[in-house]
Chains A and B, each alone.
Chain A
Amino acid sequence: MTNDSLIQSISSLLPEAQIKMGFEYVEAFIPVDKLHDFMLQMKNNPEMAFDYLICLTGADFPDHLQVIYHLESTSHNHVIVIKVKTIGRENPSVDSVSDIWPTADPHENEAFDLLGIKFNNHPEPRRLFLDDTWGYPLRKDYQDDVHIVSR
C-alpha cells in the first residue's frame, strides 16, 4: 500500500486520528483510550496486516510523554509510525500491546524503566536495566547526581 492510500484507510478507520506525512513514513497520532482496539485492527485487517513491530520508543515532551510504534507489514512491505500521547506527565499510562505483538513485552519494559510509562495489562511489568530505586533517566527533568552526562 502506498503512503497516500495508507493515510486514506487510516482516516476512514479512525476519524479522530491526526495523520501527517513524515519524512519517509506516515505518522498518525491515536487517542490514548482507542489505542488497543486500533492496534488490533492494524494487525488483523487484511489490507493493513502490520504483523511486525520493528521498534517501540518512549519520549519525553514538556507536557506529555509519547510512545511511538514503528510497524511493518511483511506481506505488503509498508511501514507506518503510530504515536500516542499520555495524559500528563505525573501518572502516564498506556495500554499494553504485548498481547498483539509479543516483542512489545521487553520494549514496553524498557520504556517503563527509562521513562516511567506504565503499561496497563502488561503480563510481566519490571525494570529491565536499572534497579528499583533509580529515577527515570530519559526524562528531561532527571537529576543527574553522578554526572554521567553534562550539558
Chain B
Amino acid sequence: MAEYKEVYLTSDEIKTDDYLVNMGPQHPSTHGVLRLLVKLEGEKVLNVQPHIGYIHSGIEKMTESLTYIQIPHLTDRMDYLAAHMNNEAVSLCVEKALQVEVPERAKYIRTIFDELQRIASHQLWWCAFGMDMGALTTFFYGLRDREDILDIFEETCGARLTLNYSIPGGVMFDIHPNFQRDVKAFIKKFRAKLPEYERLLTGNVIFRERTKGVGILSKEEAIAYGVTGPSGRASGFSCDIRKKQPYSAYPYVKFNEIMGTDGDTFTRYHLRILEMFESMDIIEQLIDNIPEGDYAVKMKGVTKLPEGEYYQRVETGRGEFGVYVISDGKKNPYRMKFRSPGFSNLFAINNIAKGWKIADLVAIMGTFDLVIPDIDR
C-alpha cells in the first residue's frame, strides 16, 4: 500500500491562467455602449483595452455638408450632458473667424447656462457614481435636484437635454422673464442640499475605504495622457480653459480653479462636489448683472468663413473640448474636428487600473465621468 503523503502547495505554486473578460457593451457601469476588454489574473486587472465605436455617428463627416449655422445644432448630440458648451464652442469658433462681436447680454446668458449645465452634469455624474459603488439613494437625490435645472432650461429654450440654445451671433431666444427668479431660487435650495450630498457619500466610511488611495494618476501621466477637466485637476494638472483662455463672461467673474494633489479616485470625486459650489458662486456673480440689450447679432443664413484655420477651446463638465475648423472659404467647412475630452480621458484608464481589482476598475471608470457619444462622435 502506497504511503499517504499530504501535499501542501504555497500560493506561488498554484498557477491560474490569465483570462480575458468583455466588460460591456451592455455593462451597467460603462454608462453606455463601451466595451472594455479586461485581462485578469483572478480578480487582479492586468490590462484594459477599450473598444469604442458602437455609436459612432460620423458627425465630423456630416459637418462637411452643413453650413456653419446648422452645425451647432448637431453638436449637442455628442456630449449630451454638456450640450450648451458644445454649441457654444462652435458658435465661438465661427464668431472668432468672422470677427463678430457678441452682445454683452448674450455673453452673460451663455456663461450662466454653462455653469448650470456643469452643475447638472456633475449631479448626474454624482448620482450614477454612487450607484456604481452600490449606494442607490444617491441616484434619487441627484436626479431630484437636477430636475430643477432642467425645468429652468425648458422654460427658456424649450428643451431639457439638447438645448440648441447658443448659435453663432449670440443665443437663440431671450431668457424667460422668470429665469433670474428661478435660478436664484434653485441656488438657494441647492446650497442647502449640497452638504447633504457630502454627508451621504463623502463621509461614508465604506465609500472612503473604496476610493481613498485607489487608482492614482500622477501629474506627469495626466499631462502625457491629455487627461483634462476635474480628472486632470485632481492630479494637479492646471487645465481649466476658463482660466487659461477665458471666453464669454468668464473674464468678468472671480472664481478659483479647484485643484487636487493626490490624483486618486476620492480626489477626483470630491473635486467635482467642490466645483458645484464654485459654479454656484459664478452664477451668483452674474445673475443680477445681466446687461440690457440685444441677445444676438443678426447673422446670414449662409455664412462663409474666410480661408484659414481656427481652433476654439472650451471647458465642459468633463474637460477640454476643442473645435478645429479648416476652411477653404466656402459655406461648408473643409474639415472639422472635435477634440472631445472623454476620448483622451478614456485611454488613460489602462495605465491607472493596472494592478487593481476589478471592483476598483468600476470606481476608477466612474470618476472619469465618461459619456460615450462624446467619445464616439
Q: Interface of A with B (CB < 8 Å)?
A: 22-25, 27, 51-55, 57, 59-60, 68, 70, 74, 77, 81, 101-103, 105-107, 110, 114, 128-130, 137-138, 148-151
Bound Cα distance A128, B49 (Å) = 11
For this complex, 26 residue pairs linking A to B, each with C-beta atoms less than 8 Å apart, are A22-B308, A23-B97, A24-B310, A24-B311, A25-B311, A51-B223, A51-B224, A55-B322, A55-B324, A59-B334, A74-B237, A81-B309, A102-B351, A103-B226, A103-B344, A106-B346, A106-B347, A107-B343, A114-B60, A129-B53, A129-B56, A137-B58, A137-B61, A148-B58, A150-B65, A151-B65
Q: Categorize the interface residue count of chain B.
A: 35 or more
A60 with B335: CB separation less than 8 A: yes
Interface of B is mostly: mixed
Bound Cα distance A47, B79 (Å) = 36
Interface set, chain B 54-96, CB cutoff 8 A to A: 56, 58, 60-62, 64-65, 96
With a cutoff of 8 Å between Cβ atoms, the chain B residues found around residue A70 in the complex are 311, 322, 324, 339
With a cutoff of 8 Å between Cβ atoms, the chain A residues found around residue B324 in the complex are 55, 57, 68, 70
Contact of B376 among A60, A106, A129, A149 (CB under 8 A): A129
A52 with B223: CB separation less than 8 A: yes
> Do A27 and B309 contact each other (CB < 8 Å), given the known contacts A53-B226, A74-B223, A77-B244?
yes
A-B contacts counted at CB < 8 A amount to: 88
Bound Cα distance A77, B237 (Å) = 13
Q: Interface of B with A (CB < 8 Å)?
A: 52-53, 56, 58, 60-62, 64-65, 96-97, 223-226, 237-239, 244, 308-311, 313, 320, 322, 324, 326, 334-335, 337, 339, 343-344, 346-348, 351, 376
Contact of B58 among A55, A149, A151 (CB under 8 A): A149
B308 with A130: CB separation less than 8 A: no
A138 with B224: CB separation less than 8 A: no
Bound Cα distance A27, B347 (Å) = 28
> Do A103 and B339 contact each other (CB < 8 Å), given the known contacts A70-B311, A148-B58, A149-B58?
no
B308, B309, B320, B351 — most chain A CB neighbours (10 Å):
B309
Contact of B335 among A24, A54, A105, A138 (CB under 8 A): A138
Bound Cα distance A19, B258 (Å) = 37
Bound Cα distance A54, B244 (Å) = 14
Chain B residue nearest to A138 (CB atoms) is B61
A52 with B309: CB separation less than 8 A: no
A23 with B225: CB separation less than 8 A: no
Bound Cα distance A59, B324 (Å) = 11
With a cutoff of 8 Å between Cβ atoms, the chain A residues found around residue B239 in the complex are 74
With a cutoff of 8 Å between Cβ atoms, the chain B residues found around residue A148 in the complex are 58, 61-62
